[in-house]
Structure 1
Amino acid sequence: MSTNELILYTNVLSPYSRTVMGVLALLEIEYKEHIINPFKGEQKTEWYKKINPKMKIPAIKDGDHCMGESIDICKYLVETRKLKTPVWPVDDQEKTDQMEKDLAKIDELGAATGDVAFKCFFAKALGQKLPPPNEKKKYLDVLYRVYDGLEATLKQRRTQFFNSDDHPGLQDYQCYNLFRQVIDIGLAKLDKHPLLQQWVTACGKVPSIAAVNVKLNKEMKKVKFLMKWVLPIMRCLTCKCCC
Protein backbone atom coordinates (compact mmCIF):
# COMPACT_ATOMS: atom_id res chain seq x y z
CA MET A 1 0.00 0.00 0.00
CA SER A 2 1.32 3.43 -0.93
CA THR A 3 2.07 5.68 2.04
CA ASN A 4 2.69 8.85 0.03
CA GLU A 5 -0.83 9.14 -1.39
CA LEU A 6 -2.76 9.72 1.82
CA ILE A 7 -5.64 12.14 1.33
CA LEU A 8 -7.62 13.46 4.30
CA TYR A 9 -11.14 14.68 3.55
CA THR A 10 -11.76 17.06 6.38
CA ASN A 11 -13.10 20.29 7.80
CA VAL A 12 -11.40 21.82 10.84
CA LEU A 13 -14.80 22.83 12.27
CA SER A 14 -15.54 19.14 12.73
CA PRO A 15 -14.19 17.91 16.10
CA TYR A 16 -13.72 14.44 14.62
CA SER A 17 -11.66 15.88 11.79
CA ARG A 18 -9.45 17.68 14.30
CA THR A 19 -8.79 14.41 16.11
CA VAL A 20 -7.37 12.87 12.94
CA MET A 21 -5.46 16.05 12.06
CA GLY A 22 -3.89 16.12 15.53
CA VAL A 23 -2.84 12.48 15.37
CA LEU A 24 -1.39 12.97 11.89
CA ALA A 25 0.62 15.91 13.22
CA LEU A 26 1.81 13.85 16.18
CA LEU A 27 2.85 10.92 14.00
CA GLU A 28 4.41 13.28 11.41
CA ILE A 29 2.58 11.56 8.57
CA GLU A 30 2.44 13.56 5.35
CA TYR A 31 -0.94 13.91 3.69
CA LYS A 32 -2.95 15.99 1.26
CA GLU A 33 -5.91 17.88 2.67
CA HIS A 34 -9.20 18.06 0.82
CA ILE A 35 -11.60 20.40 2.61
CA ILE A 36 -15.28 19.41 2.63
CA ASN A 37 -17.87 22.14 3.21
CA PRO A 38 -20.82 20.62 5.11
CA PHE A 39 -22.84 23.85 4.90
CA LYS A 40 -22.92 23.35 1.12
CA GLY A 41 -23.71 19.66 1.44
CA GLU A 42 -20.45 18.54 -0.16
CA GLN A 43 -20.40 15.42 2.03
CA LYS A 44 -23.55 14.25 0.23
CA THR A 45 -22.14 14.42 -3.29
CA GLU A 46 -21.86 11.22 -5.32
CA TRP A 47 -18.09 11.35 -5.53
CA TYR A 48 -17.75 11.68 -1.74
CA LYS A 49 -20.16 8.80 -1.14
CA LYS A 50 -17.61 6.61 -2.90
CA ILE A 51 -15.01 7.73 -0.34
CA ASN A 52 -17.32 7.44 2.66
CA PRO A 53 -20.77 5.92 2.05
CA LYS A 54 -21.90 7.20 5.47
CA MET A 55 -21.38 10.76 4.16
CA LYS A 56 -19.60 11.86 7.33
CA ILE A 57 -16.46 13.92 7.89
CA PRO A 58 -13.60 13.00 8.10
CA ALA A 59 -12.55 10.25 5.74
CA ILE A 60 -9.26 9.17 4.20
CA LYS A 61 -8.06 7.64 0.96
CA ASP A 62 -4.80 5.79 1.48
CA GLY A 63 -3.72 4.45 -1.88
CA ASP A 64 -6.79 2.45 -2.93
CA HIS A 65 -8.12 2.11 0.62
CA CYS A 66 -10.95 4.42 1.73
CA MET A 67 -12.46 4.65 5.20
CA GLY A 68 -14.27 6.96 7.62
CA GLU A 69 -14.77 7.25 11.40
CA SER A 70 -12.09 9.30 13.16
CA ILE A 71 -11.11 6.72 15.79
CA ASP A 72 -10.88 3.91 13.24
CA ILE A 73 -8.76 6.13 11.01
CA CYS A 74 -6.33 6.92 13.82
CA LYS A 75 -5.98 3.27 14.82
CA TYR A 76 -5.46 2.33 11.18
CA LEU A 77 -2.70 4.92 10.74
CA VAL A 78 -0.80 3.67 13.79
CA GLU A 79 -1.19 0.00 12.94
CA THR A 80 -0.46 0.15 9.21
CA ARG A 81 2.58 2.39 9.70
CA LYS A 82 3.74 0.13 12.56
CA LEU A 83 4.38 3.13 14.80
CA LYS A 84 5.05 3.07 18.53
CA THR A 85 3.08 5.90 20.11
CA PRO A 86 1.31 6.60 23.41
CA VAL A 87 -1.68 7.90 21.48
CA TRP A 88 -2.59 4.27 20.65
CA PRO A 89 -0.02 1.91 22.24
CA VAL A 90 -0.67 -1.30 20.33
CA ASP A 91 2.13 -3.00 22.25
CA ASP A 92 0.36 -2.43 25.61
CA GLN A 93 -2.89 -4.40 25.73
CA GLU A 94 -3.87 -3.12 29.17
CA LYS A 95 -3.70 0.53 28.07
CA THR A 96 -5.49 -0.06 24.77
CA ASP A 97 -8.27 -1.93 26.62
CA GLN A 98 -8.68 1.05 28.95
CA MET A 99 -8.70 3.44 26.00
CA GLU A 100 -11.41 1.37 24.30
CA LYS A 101 -13.58 1.67 27.41
CA ASP A 102 -12.99 5.42 27.57
CA LEU A 103 -13.77 5.85 23.88
CA ALA A 104 -17.06 4.02 24.31
CA LYS A 105 -18.05 6.54 27.00
CA ILE A 106 -17.01 9.44 24.77
CA ASP A 107 -19.71 8.42 22.30
CA GLU A 108 -22.16 9.80 24.87
CA LEU A 109 -20.20 13.05 24.95
CA GLY A 110 -20.31 13.24 21.16
CA ALA A 111 -24.09 12.88 21.08
CA ALA A 112 -24.67 15.49 23.79
CA THR A 113 -22.17 17.90 22.23
CA GLY A 114 -23.73 17.52 18.80
CA ASP A 115 -27.19 18.39 20.12
CA VAL A 116 -25.91 21.58 21.77
CA ALA A 117 -23.65 22.68 18.90
CA PHE A 118 -25.90 22.00 15.93
CA LYS A 119 -29.36 22.56 17.40
CA CYS A 120 -28.40 25.61 19.44
CA PHE A 121 -25.82 27.31 17.19
CA PHE A 122 -25.01 25.89 13.75
CA ALA A 123 -28.71 25.44 12.94
CA LYS A 124 -28.80 29.17 12.26
CA ALA A 125 -26.15 28.81 9.55
CA LEU A 126 -28.31 26.11 7.94
CA GLY A 127 -31.34 28.40 7.89
CA GLN A 128 -33.12 26.65 10.75
CA LYS A 129 -34.72 28.13 13.85
CA LEU A 130 -32.88 28.01 17.16
CA PRO A 131 -34.68 26.27 20.05
CA PRO A 132 -36.45 28.27 22.81
CA PRO A 133 -34.48 28.85 26.07
CA ASN A 134 -36.14 25.97 27.95
CA GLU A 135 -35.23 23.47 25.21
CA LYS A 136 -31.68 24.83 25.01
CA LYS A 137 -31.36 24.33 28.78
CA LYS A 138 -32.49 20.72 28.37
CA TYR A 139 -29.67 20.02 25.90
CA LEU A 140 -27.13 21.71 28.17
CA ASP A 141 -28.30 19.76 31.23
CA VAL A 142 -27.64 16.50 29.38
CA LEU A 143 -24.19 17.73 28.38
CA TYR A 144 -23.30 18.78 31.92
CA ARG A 145 -24.27 15.37 33.26
CA VAL A 146 -21.72 13.86 30.88
CA TYR A 147 -19.17 16.40 32.12
CA ASP A 148 -19.90 15.26 35.69
CA GLY A 149 -18.95 11.71 34.74
CA LEU A 150 -15.69 12.78 33.08
CA GLU A 151 -14.81 14.95 36.07
CA ALA A 152 -15.33 11.94 38.34
CA THR A 153 -13.08 9.81 36.12
CA LEU A 154 -10.21 12.29 36.34
CA LYS A 155 -10.67 12.55 40.10
CA GLN A 156 -10.51 8.78 40.46
CA ARG A 157 -7.44 8.30 38.25
CA ARG A 158 -5.49 11.30 39.53
CA THR A 159 -3.68 11.74 36.23
CA GLN A 160 -3.23 14.81 34.04
CA PHE A 161 -4.66 13.04 30.99
CA PHE A 162 -7.16 10.20 31.01
CA ASN A 163 -4.57 7.46 30.81
CA SER A 164 -1.31 9.09 31.84
CA ASP A 165 0.43 12.07 33.43
CA ASP A 166 2.81 12.40 30.48
CA HIS A 167 1.01 11.81 27.19
CA PRO A 168 -2.56 12.22 25.91
CA GLY A 169 -4.13 9.13 24.42
CA LEU A 170 -6.61 8.78 21.61
CA GLN A 171 -9.49 9.36 24.01
CA ASP A 172 -7.93 12.68 25.09
CA TYR A 173 -7.68 13.88 21.48
CA GLN A 174 -11.29 12.96 20.74
CA CYS A 175 -12.68 14.28 24.01
CA TYR A 176 -10.76 17.56 23.84
CA ASN A 177 -12.00 18.37 20.35
CA LEU A 178 -15.59 17.73 21.38
CA PHE A 179 -15.11 20.09 24.32
CA ARG A 180 -13.71 22.80 22.06
CA GLN A 181 -16.73 22.60 19.79
CA VAL A 182 -19.14 23.98 22.41
CA ILE A 183 -16.69 26.06 24.45
CA ASP A 184 -15.56 28.04 21.39
CA ILE A 185 -19.09 29.10 20.54
CA GLY A 186 -19.80 30.09 24.14
CA LEU A 187 -22.51 27.52 24.82
CA ALA A 188 -20.84 25.56 27.61
CA LYS A 189 -18.64 26.42 30.59
CA LEU A 190 -16.43 24.44 32.95
CA ASP A 191 -16.89 26.61 36.05
CA LYS A 192 -18.11 23.64 38.09
CA HIS A 193 -15.58 21.17 36.69
CA PRO A 194 -12.09 22.24 37.86
CA LEU A 195 -10.32 19.01 36.88
CA LEU A 196 -11.73 19.24 33.37
CA GLN A 197 -10.55 22.86 33.21
CA GLN A 198 -7.02 21.74 34.06
CA TRP A 199 -7.27 18.89 31.57
CA VAL A 200 -8.41 21.20 28.75
CA THR A 201 -5.47 23.54 29.48
CA ALA A 202 -3.01 20.63 29.48
CA CYS A 203 -4.36 19.25 26.19
CA GLY A 204 -4.17 22.69 24.56
CA LYS A 205 -0.44 22.80 25.26
CA VAL A 206 0.29 19.55 23.42
CA PRO A 207 2.12 20.64 20.21
CA SER A 208 0.13 18.44 17.82
CA ILE A 209 -3.17 19.70 19.29
CA ALA A 210 -1.99 23.32 19.44
CA ALA A 211 -1.07 23.21 15.73
CA VAL A 212 -4.62 22.21 14.80
CA ASN A 213 -6.03 24.85 17.17
CA VAL A 214 -4.34 27.56 15.13
CA LYS A 215 -6.39 26.50 12.09
CA LEU A 216 -9.53 26.16 14.18
CA ASN A 217 -9.23 29.63 15.68
CA LYS A 218 -9.00 31.18 12.20
CA GLU A 219 -12.06 29.31 10.97
CA MET A 220 -14.09 30.15 14.07
CA LYS A 221 -13.48 33.85 13.48
CA LYS A 222 -14.92 33.43 9.98
CA VAL A 223 -17.93 31.52 11.27
CA LYS A 224 -18.72 34.08 13.97
CA PHE A 225 -18.44 36.91 11.43
CA LEU A 226 -20.75 34.98 9.11
CA MET A 227 -23.30 34.38 11.86
CA LYS A 228 -23.21 37.92 13.24
CA TRP A 229 -23.09 39.99 10.05
CA VAL A 230 -23.34 38.16 6.74
CA LEU A 231 -26.40 35.96 7.37
CA PRO A 232 -28.55 38.75 8.92
CA ILE A 233 -27.75 41.07 6.00
CA MET A 234 -28.55 38.35 3.45
CA ARG A 235 -31.87 37.60 5.16
CA CYS A 236 -32.69 41.30 5.22
CA LEU A 237 -31.94 41.65 1.52
CA THR A 238 -34.05 38.63 0.56
CA CYS A 239 -36.94 39.39 2.91
CA LYS A 240 -40.15 40.31 1.04
CA CYS A 241 -42.09 41.49 4.07
CA CYS A 242 -40.82 45.06 3.67
CA CYS A 243 -41.48 45.29 -0.06
Structure 2
Amino acid sequence: MGLELYLDLLSQPCRSIYIFARSNNIPFEFKHVELMKASVIGKTSAIVSGLARQPGTGQHRTEEFRKVNILMKVPALKDGSFTLAESIAILLYLARKFKTPDHWYPSDLQKRARVDEYLSWQHVNIRGKGSKLFLTKVLLPLLTGQPLPPEKLESVTEELNIVLNQFEEKFLQDKPFIAGSEVSLADLVALVELMQPVGAGYDLFEERPKLAEWRRQVEEAVGKQLFQEAHEGILNAKSLTADKIAPELLEHFKHQLLKQAS
Protein backbone atom coordinates (compact mmCIF):
# COMPACT_ATOMS: atom_id res chain seq x y z
CA MET A 1 0.00 0.00 0.00
CA GLY A 2 1.33 3.42 -0.94
CA LEU A 3 1.45 6.75 0.80
CA GLU A 4 -1.88 8.12 2.06
CA LEU A 5 -2.39 11.72 3.21
CA TYR A 6 -5.49 12.58 5.23
CA LEU A 7 -6.23 16.24 4.53
CA ASP A 8 -8.84 18.97 4.36
CA LEU A 9 -7.68 21.95 2.31
CA LEU A 10 -9.59 24.35 4.57
CA SER A 11 -6.77 23.65 7.03
CA GLN A 12 -3.53 25.61 6.72
CA PRO A 13 -1.21 22.72 7.71
CA CYS A 14 -3.06 20.40 5.32
CA ARG A 15 -2.58 22.86 2.47
CA SER A 16 1.15 23.10 3.18
CA ILE A 17 1.53 19.33 2.96
CA TYR A 18 -0.65 19.10 -0.17
CA ILE A 19 1.32 21.82 -1.99
CA PHE A 20 4.68 20.41 -0.92
CA ALA A 21 3.81 16.89 -2.06
CA ARG A 22 2.33 18.00 -5.36
CA SER A 23 5.12 20.49 -6.08
CA ASN A 24 7.70 17.74 -5.59
CA ASN A 25 5.79 15.09 -7.56
CA ILE A 26 5.45 12.88 -4.49
CA PRO A 27 2.93 10.13 -5.25
CA PHE A 28 0.15 9.89 -2.67
CA GLU A 29 -3.50 9.00 -2.25
CA PHE A 30 -5.52 12.01 -1.13
CA LYS A 31 -7.84 10.96 1.70
CA HIS A 32 -10.28 13.84 2.03
CA VAL A 33 -11.44 14.51 5.60
CA GLU A 34 -14.25 17.07 5.54
CA LEU A 35 -14.01 19.04 8.76
CA MET A 36 -17.43 20.61 8.33
CA LYS A 37 -19.34 17.36 7.97
CA ALA A 38 -20.99 15.68 10.92
CA SER A 39 -20.40 12.32 9.24
CA VAL A 40 -16.71 12.88 9.86
CA ILE A 41 -16.48 15.11 12.90
CA GLY A 42 -18.16 15.25 16.25
CA LYS A 43 -16.63 17.24 19.07
CA THR A 44 -13.95 19.30 17.40
CA SER A 45 -11.78 22.37 17.68
CA ALA A 46 -11.20 22.43 13.91
CA ILE A 47 -12.89 25.73 13.17
CA VAL A 48 -11.78 27.37 16.38
CA SER A 49 -8.09 26.89 15.68
CA GLY A 50 -8.29 28.05 12.09
CA LEU A 51 -9.86 25.04 10.39
CA ALA A 52 -6.86 22.94 11.20
CA ARG A 53 -7.57 20.33 13.78
CA GLN A 54 -9.58 17.20 14.24
CA PRO A 55 -12.28 14.83 13.13
CA GLY A 56 -14.14 13.55 16.13
CA THR A 57 -16.20 10.88 17.81
CA GLY A 58 -19.15 8.61 17.25
CA GLN A 59 -19.32 8.68 13.46
CA HIS A 60 -18.88 6.01 10.79
CA ARG A 61 -15.25 6.88 9.94
CA THR A 62 -13.99 7.12 13.51
CA GLU A 63 -12.47 3.67 13.95
CA GLU A 64 -10.88 3.76 10.50
CA PHE A 65 -9.31 7.12 11.18
CA ARG A 66 -8.28 6.25 14.74
CA LYS A 67 -6.03 3.57 13.29
CA VAL A 68 -4.21 6.30 11.37
CA ASN A 69 -4.09 8.90 14.14
CA ILE A 70 -5.27 8.04 17.62
CA LEU A 71 -5.35 11.79 18.37
CA MET A 72 -8.11 12.11 15.74
CA LYS A 73 -6.53 15.12 14.06
CA VAL A 74 -5.64 16.15 10.53
CA PRO A 75 -3.27 16.26 8.77
CA ALA A 76 -2.24 12.64 9.11
CA LEU A 77 0.00 10.33 7.10
CA LYS A 78 -0.11 6.59 6.50
CA ASP A 79 2.82 5.00 4.68
CA GLY A 80 2.27 1.25 4.63
CA SER A 81 2.04 0.29 8.31
CA PHE A 82 3.70 3.54 9.43
CA THR A 83 1.50 6.41 10.60
CA LEU A 84 2.42 9.97 11.51
CA ALA A 85 0.69 13.07 12.84
CA GLU A 86 1.63 16.77 13.15
CA SER A 87 2.19 18.82 10.02
CA ILE A 88 5.85 19.76 10.55
CA ALA A 89 6.81 16.16 11.27
CA ILE A 90 4.95 15.07 8.12
CA LEU A 91 6.67 17.70 5.97
CA LEU A 92 10.11 16.67 7.24
CA TYR A 93 9.31 12.98 6.73
CA LEU A 94 8.29 13.62 3.12
CA ALA A 95 11.37 15.76 2.46
CA ARG A 96 13.69 13.07 3.80
CA LYS A 97 12.00 9.99 2.38
CA PHE A 98 11.58 11.39 -1.12
CA LYS A 99 14.92 13.23 -1.09
CA THR A 100 13.39 16.51 -2.23
CA PRO A 101 15.73 19.32 -3.38
CA ASP A 102 18.03 20.51 -0.62
CA HIS A 103 16.64 24.04 -0.49
CA TRP A 104 13.41 22.82 1.12
CA TYR A 105 15.22 21.74 4.29
CA PRO A 106 18.85 22.76 3.76
CA SER A 107 21.74 20.52 4.71
CA ASP A 108 23.73 23.68 5.53
CA LEU A 109 23.65 23.89 9.33
CA GLN A 110 22.86 27.59 9.65
CA LYS A 111 20.27 27.67 6.84
CA ARG A 112 18.51 24.69 8.38
CA ALA A 113 18.59 26.44 11.74
CA ARG A 114 16.78 29.42 10.18
CA VAL A 115 14.07 27.10 8.91
CA ASP A 116 13.79 25.42 12.31
CA GLU A 117 13.70 28.79 14.04
CA TYR A 118 10.72 30.00 12.02
CA LEU A 119 8.85 26.70 12.30
CA SER A 120 9.31 26.81 16.08
CA TRP A 121 8.09 30.44 16.31
CA GLN A 122 5.13 30.46 13.99
CA HIS A 123 2.54 28.37 15.87
CA VAL A 124 1.32 30.94 18.38
CA ASN A 125 2.32 33.94 16.29
CA ILE A 126 1.51 33.82 12.57
CA ARG A 127 -0.89 30.89 12.91
CA GLY A 128 -2.41 32.04 16.15
CA LYS A 129 -3.08 35.63 15.13
CA GLY A 130 -4.05 34.82 11.54
CA SER A 131 -6.54 32.19 12.67
CA LYS A 132 -7.99 34.52 15.28
CA LEU A 133 -8.68 37.17 12.66
CA PHE A 134 -10.32 34.59 10.41
CA LEU A 135 -12.63 33.24 13.08
CA THR A 136 -13.47 36.72 14.35
CA LYS A 137 -14.22 38.23 10.95
CA VAL A 138 -15.86 35.27 9.21
CA LEU A 139 -17.15 32.65 11.63
CA LEU A 140 -18.17 34.62 14.70
CA PRO A 141 -20.78 36.79 12.90
CA LEU A 142 -21.96 33.73 10.97
CA LEU A 143 -22.58 31.63 14.06
CA THR A 144 -23.93 34.34 16.35
CA GLY A 145 -26.02 36.17 13.76
CA GLN A 146 -24.69 39.45 15.16
CA PRO A 147 -22.57 42.06 13.33
CA LEU A 148 -18.94 42.21 14.35
CA PRO A 149 -18.12 45.14 16.67
CA PRO A 150 -15.60 47.39 14.86
CA GLU A 151 -13.41 47.64 17.94
CA LYS A 152 -13.10 43.85 18.06
CA LEU A 153 -11.94 43.65 14.46
CA GLU A 154 -9.50 46.50 15.04
CA SER A 155 -8.03 44.70 18.05
CA VAL A 156 -7.40 41.37 16.31
CA THR A 157 -6.09 43.13 13.20
CA GLU A 158 -3.57 45.02 15.30
CA GLU A 159 -2.45 41.76 16.95
CA LEU A 160 -1.83 40.28 13.51
CA ASN A 161 0.04 43.35 12.30
CA ILE A 162 2.40 43.15 15.27
CA VAL A 163 3.49 39.62 14.33
CA LEU A 164 3.67 40.58 10.64
CA ASN A 165 6.14 43.31 11.58
CA GLN A 166 8.13 40.76 13.55
CA PHE A 167 8.07 38.37 10.60
CA GLU A 168 9.42 41.01 8.22
CA GLU A 169 12.04 42.39 10.59
CA LYS A 170 13.26 39.15 12.18
CA PHE A 171 12.73 36.40 9.64
CA LEU A 172 12.53 37.95 6.18
CA GLN A 173 14.75 41.01 6.59
CA ASP A 174 16.18 41.93 3.15
CA LYS A 175 16.42 38.35 1.88
CA PRO A 176 14.28 36.86 -0.89
CA PHE A 177 13.35 33.97 1.42
CA ILE A 178 13.56 33.11 5.10
CA ALA A 179 16.67 30.91 4.80
CA GLY A 180 18.38 33.02 2.15
CA SER A 181 18.19 32.94 -1.63
CA GLU A 182 15.97 29.86 -2.09
CA VAL A 183 12.51 28.84 -0.96
CA SER A 184 12.25 26.50 2.03
CA LEU A 185 9.60 24.73 4.08
CA ALA A 186 9.54 27.82 6.31
CA ASP A 187 8.40 30.04 3.43
CA LEU A 188 5.71 27.61 2.31
CA VAL A 189 4.30 27.18 5.83
CA ALA A 190 4.41 30.95 6.43
CA LEU A 191 2.62 31.94 3.24
CA VAL A 192 -0.09 29.31 3.58
CA GLU A 193 -0.81 30.55 7.11
CA LEU A 194 -1.01 34.16 5.89
CA MET A 195 -3.63 33.18 3.33
CA GLN A 196 -6.07 32.45 6.17
CA PRO A 197 -6.73 36.15 6.95
CA VAL A 198 -6.72 36.85 3.19
CA GLY A 199 -9.57 34.36 2.98
CA ALA A 200 -11.38 36.47 5.55
CA GLY A 201 -11.11 39.50 3.27
CA TYR A 202 -8.08 41.15 4.89
CA ASP A 203 -5.42 41.79 2.23
CA LEU A 204 -2.39 42.02 4.48
CA PHE A 205 -0.08 42.24 1.45
CA GLU A 206 -1.62 45.42 0.05
CA GLU A 207 0.44 47.88 2.08
CA ARG A 208 3.46 45.64 2.59
CA PRO A 209 5.51 45.63 -0.64
CA LYS A 210 8.29 43.47 0.81
CA LEU A 211 5.76 40.87 1.89
CA ALA A 212 3.96 41.06 -1.45
CA GLU A 213 7.18 40.44 -3.38
CA TRP A 214 8.06 37.53 -1.11
CA ARG A 215 4.59 36.06 -1.72
CA ARG A 216 5.07 36.33 -5.48
CA GLN A 217 8.39 34.51 -5.30
CA VAL A 218 7.07 31.72 -3.07
CA GLU A 219 4.08 31.17 -5.36
CA GLU A 220 6.36 31.02 -8.39
CA ALA A 221 8.66 28.55 -6.63
CA VAL A 222 5.86 26.08 -5.83
CA GLY A 223 3.75 26.77 -8.91
CA LYS A 224 1.18 29.54 -9.01
CA GLN A 225 -1.58 27.37 -10.43
CA LEU A 226 -1.04 24.70 -7.76
CA PHE A 227 -1.01 27.35 -5.04
CA GLN A 228 -4.29 28.86 -6.25
CA GLU A 229 -5.89 25.43 -6.57
CA ALA A 230 -5.03 24.57 -2.97
CA HIS A 231 -6.48 27.87 -1.73
CA GLU A 232 -9.68 27.89 -3.75
CA GLY A 233 -11.79 26.78 -0.79
CA ILE A 234 -10.40 29.18 1.81
CA LEU A 235 -10.53 32.14 -0.60
CA ASN A 236 -14.25 31.49 -0.93
CA ALA A 237 -14.75 31.30 2.83
CA LYS A 238 -16.64 34.60 2.92
CA SER A 239 -19.48 32.88 1.07
CA LEU A 240 -19.80 30.30 3.86
CA THR A 241 -23.28 30.06 5.32
CA ALA A 242 -24.52 28.37 8.48
CA ASP A 243 -26.49 25.78 6.51
CA LYS A 244 -23.20 24.37 5.20
CA ILE A 245 -22.20 23.42 8.75
CA ALA A 246 -23.78 20.36 10.31
CA PRO A 247 -26.53 21.62 12.67
CA GLU A 248 -25.30 19.58 15.64
CA LEU A 249 -21.94 21.36 15.41
CA LEU A 250 -23.22 24.94 15.38
CA GLU A 251 -23.79 25.33 19.10
CA HIS A 252 -20.46 23.75 19.94
CA PHE A 253 -18.64 26.03 17.50
CA LYS A 254 -20.50 29.07 18.76
CA HIS A 255 -19.55 28.38 22.37
CA GLN A 256 -15.89 27.80 21.54
CA LEU A 257 -15.65 30.81 19.23
CA LEU A 258 -17.17 33.17 21.76
CA LYS A 259 -14.78 31.88 24.41
CA GLN A 260 -11.67 32.26 22.26
CA ALA A 261 -12.68 35.59 20.73
CA SER A 262 -13.38 37.18 24.09
Q: TM-score range by the shorter chain?
A: 0.7 to 0.9
In structure 1, the residue matched to 2:16 is 19
Q: Which of the numbers 78, 102, 106 marks the counterpart of 1:85?
A: 102
Aligned residue among 60, 75, 94 for 2:110: 94
Q: Return the alpha-carbon distance in structure 2 between the equivalents of residues 222 and 195 of structure 1.
A: 26
- Tell me, in whole angstroms, the C-alpha distance in 2 between the residues paired with 1:199 and 1:36: 31
- Encode CA deviations 1:141-164: one digit per residue, 9 max, x unaligned: 1111000111213663x2111112
1:213 matched to which residue of 2?
228
Alpha carbons of structure 1 residues 161 and 63: separation in structure 2 relative to 1, 3 Å:
same
Larger mean Cα displacement after TM superposition, 99-108 or 187-196: 187-196
1:128-167 correspondence runs (5 A): 128=144, 131-153=148-170, 156=173, 158-165=174-181, 167=182
Aligned pair in 2 of structure 1 residues 151, 118: CA closer, same or farther (>3 Å)? Answer: same
Q: Which residue is equivalent to 1:9?
A: 6
Q: What's 2:75 paired with?
A: 58
1:146-185 CA distances to partner (integer Å, 9 max, x unpaired)? 00111213663x21111122x2111100000011111133
Q: Distance in 2 between matches of 1:221 and 1:171?
A: 22
* Shift, 1:110, TM fit: 0.6
- One-letter identity of the residue aligned with 1:31: F
Letter in 1 for 2:70: P
Is 1:72 matched with 2:72? no
Change in Cα spacing, 1:199 to 1:37, as seen in structure 2 (3 Å) is same
Amino acid at match of 1:15: Q
Q: 1:32 corresponds to which residue?
A: 29
2:189 pairs with one of 174, 182, 190: 174
In the superposition, relative to structure 1, how do residues 7 and 209 fare at CA in structure 2: closer, same or farther (>3 Å)? farther
Within 5 A, what are the aligned runs for 1:181-200? 181-200=196-215
Q: Write the deviation string for residues 73-111 of structure 1: whole angstroms up to 9, x where unpaired.
A: 01011223344431112x322211111111122121111
Match of 1:120 among 109, 126, 137: 137
| Identical columns (%) | 20
Change in 2 beyond 3 A, CA 1:109/1:25: same
Distance 2:196 2:30 in 1: 21
Q: Which segments of 5 or more consecutive residues in structure 1 lack a partner in the other structure?
A: 235-243
**Larger C-alpha radius of gyration, 1 or 2?**
1
Q: CA–CA distance in 2 between the matches of 1:32 and 1:12?
A: 14
| Ranges in structure 2 where 5+ consecutive residues have no aligned partner | 41-54, 248-262
Indicate the RMSD between aligned Cα atoms, in angstroms: 2.6
Indicate conservation of the 8 Å contact 2:199/2:238, yes or no: no
SS at match of 1:117: helix
Which residue number corresponds to residue 241 of structure 2? Answer: 227
Q: Which has the higher helix share?
A: 1
Aligned partners of 1:155, 1:12: CA distance in 2, in Å?
Answer: 26
